[in-house]
């Protein structure tokens, strides 16, 4: 079920229930899409303004990229559910079943794939938001800051959905590779998001 087709209230209600999905991954995808859209809004308020004519082509290109990122992030809400359900089912396999470990291992790697994708998309969004914050309309710069905060939160939330799964992987090499990839994104892009926020905040004399 694609929860992005439901109302915001319905999404939150199901999120608060005991339903297996949406969970942290789906929520991270939605928050990432919202953060990306906030940056994109700054772009929308920049194009067509004489004051920003010299950056218009760059902003238009970033807006097109963010349009695609927003859609991809929203698509991950359903993808996270689809890729988590095999793992949820695998937990129900009797522990004495000789195929359980192999099925669990494969399902766990699949469950990691969507939150990892969400992280990658949020990193791309932050690259765009950094430009919107630096070159976009000063009247909407606060929205670029808000977008950075949302994308950082989504990035961190998605990482936890990677780490909870890699912890249970028996193949520690695969776990280590996934953890290293997730941590590299956190190490680079969380400080970038903080810098955007702090720069925007400083612009208000705070």
- Can you give the pLDDT at residue 21? 86
206 residues of the chain, pLDDT tens digit each: 689 999 999 999 999 999 888 999 999 999 999 999 999 999 999 999 999 999 999 999 999 999 999 999 999 999 999 999 999 999 999 999 999 999 999 999 999 999 999 999 999 999 999 999 999 999 999 999 999 999 999 999 999 999 999 999 999 999 999 999 999 999 999 999 999 999 999 999 99
| Geometric angle at alpha carbon 19, from 148 and 17, rounded to 5° | 75
Q: Return the pLDDT at 20.
A: 83
* CATH top-level class of 24-202: mainly alpha
If one counts every other C-beta atom within 10 angstroms of the C-beta of residue 95, the result is 6
Q: Which pLDDT score, from 0 to 100, does residue 173 have?
A: 97
What pLDDT is stored for residue 50 in this prediction?
97
Task: Measure the CA angle with vertex 157, ends 34 and 89; round to 5°.
Answer: 110
Give dist(CA 122, CA 189) in Å, integer: 9
Domain ranges in the chain are 24-202
């Amino acid at each position: 079920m694609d929860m992005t087709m439901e109302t915001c209230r319905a999404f939150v209600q199901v999120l608060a229930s005991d339903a297996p999905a949406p969970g942290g991954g789906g929520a991270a995808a939605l928050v990432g899409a919202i953060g990306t859209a906030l940056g994109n809004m700054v772009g929308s308020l920049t194009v067509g303004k004489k004051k920003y004519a010299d950056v218009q082509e760059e902003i238009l290109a970033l807006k097109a990229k963010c349009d695609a990122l927003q859609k991809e992030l929203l698509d991950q809400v359903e993808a996270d559910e689809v890729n988590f359900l095999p793992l949820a089912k695998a937990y129900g396999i009797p522990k004495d079943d000789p195929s359980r470990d192999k099925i669990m291992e494969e399902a766990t790697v699949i469950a990691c794939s969507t939150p990892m994708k969400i992280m990658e998309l949020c990193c791309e969004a932050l690259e765009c938001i950094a430009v919107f914050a630096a070159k976009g309309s000063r009247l909407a710069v606060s929205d670029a800051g808000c977008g950075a905060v949302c994308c950082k939160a989504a990035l961190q939330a998605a990482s936890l959905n990677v780490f909870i799964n890699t912890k249970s992987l028996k193949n520690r090499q695969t776990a280590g590779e996934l953890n290293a990839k997730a941590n590299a994104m956190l190490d680079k892009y969380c400080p970038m998001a903080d810098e955007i926020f702090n720069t925007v905040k400083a612009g208000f004399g705070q």
